[in-house]
């Protein structure tokens, strides 16, 4: 893809920014516009919800502290009418329980205030990539195939029974074949929030996948993480 093609592609991406603080909304919208997107700013929850459910909207950046409606209520309204729409929440809370509540309430990702625009932009791009990739119905890497509709995995001629979390972890590996993924990246993408840094949950689930799919399916890169090797 050329730079001109990329510019045309982002120019069709409508990002609704629901934020009542003029300084923050201006900062975010100007950055998005500079990156080639089409920002639409709404300074109330009601106006933001109306813009978000518009069929032309591609992604939403939602602040929780709105003057008329609680951000949670706006998020719930978006999920009722546009369940597939990526939503990134801006939050002042750094507590794990609050972040868990956001993700379980339907947020796809969050950015903690204060934040750099570079971080927000990276998360916007990641969510847009994920939304594009999720339109496929299956992923095949070597002799491994994931059916994303039925949530089943097949290696060769054998269908493997995976739990929901095992499937989610394997899906992340299959979307990044050969790429080394750190434990933190896997925690963020599969579990959705930071675990205790001492947690071995990734190691445990990688072991589950190796047991079910074969010891050669996921390799360990010492000091860096894991990668799909099948």
pLDDT confidence band for 84 (50 / 70 / 90): confident
Q: Which two tokens stand for residue 5?
A: 């093609």
- Percent of the chain residues past pLDDT 70, beyond the cut: 88
d(CA 187, CA 207): 15
Question: Per-residue pLDDT for 3 more than 60?
Answer: no
What is the pLDDT at residue 199?
72
Q: Which domains does the chain show, CATH number per domain?
A: 3-133 (3.40.50.2300), 138-228 (1.10.10.10)
Closest by Cα among 178, 199, 85 to 188: 199
The mean predicted confidence, pLDDT, of the chain is 85
State mean pLDDT over 169-180.
Answer: 86
Q: Which of 68-77, 89-98, 217-226 has the lowest mean pLDDT?
A: 89-98
Who contacts 140 (Cβ-Cβ below 8 Å, separation ≥6)?
A: 146
d(CA 164, CA 226): 20
Burial 206-218 (b: 16+ CB within 10 A, else e): beebeebbbeebb
Question: Per-residue pLDDT for 193 more than 60?
Answer: no
d(CA 15, CA 51): 10
d(CA 182, CA 184): 5
pLDDT confidence band for 223 (50 / 70 / 90): confident
pLDDT confidence band for 54 (50 / 70 / 90): very high
What is the pLDDT at residue 93?
74
State mean pLDDT over 98-110.
Answer: 80
What is the pLDDT at residue 132?
63
DSSP state of 141: E
Who contacts 6 (Cβ-Cβ below 8 Å, separation ≥6)?
A: 36
Instruction: Say whether 19 sits in a helix, a strand or coil.
Output: coil
Q: Which of 4-8, 21-25, 42-46, 118-122 has the lowest mean pLDDT?
A: 4-8
Question: Per-residue pLDDT for 10 more than 60?
Answer: no
Tokens 């339109």, residue?
Answer: 135
d(CA 21, CA 144): 48
């Amino acid at each position: 893809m050329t730079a001109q093609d990329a510019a045309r592609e982002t120019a069709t991406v409508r990002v609704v920014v629901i934020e009542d603080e003029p300084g923050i909304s201006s900062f975010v919208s100007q950055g998005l516009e500079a990156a080639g997107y089409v920002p639409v700013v709404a300074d109330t929850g009601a106006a933001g919800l109306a813009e978000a459910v518009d069929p032309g909207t591609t992604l939403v950046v939602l602040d929780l502290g709105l003057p008329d409606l609680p951000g949670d209520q706006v998020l719930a309204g978006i999920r009722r009418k546009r369940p597939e729409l990526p939503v990134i929440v801006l939050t002042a809370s750094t507590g794990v329980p609050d972040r868990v509540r956001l993700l379980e309430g339907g947020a796809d990702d969050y950015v903690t205030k204060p934040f750099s625009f570079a971080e927000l932009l990276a998360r916007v791009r990641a969510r847009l990539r994920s939304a594009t990739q999720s339109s496929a119905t299956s992923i095949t890497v070597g002799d491994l195939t994931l059916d994303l509709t039925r949530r089943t995995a097949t290696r060769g001629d054998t269908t493997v029974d995976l739990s929901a979390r095992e499937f989610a972890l394997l899906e992340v590996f299959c979307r990044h074949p050969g790429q080394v993924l750190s434990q933190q990246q896997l925690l963020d993408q599969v579990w959705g929030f930071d675990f205790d840094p001492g947690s071995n949950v990734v190691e445990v689930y990688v072991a589950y996948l190796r047991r079910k799919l074969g010891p050669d399916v996921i390799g360990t890169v010492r000091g860096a993480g894991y990668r799909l090797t099948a």
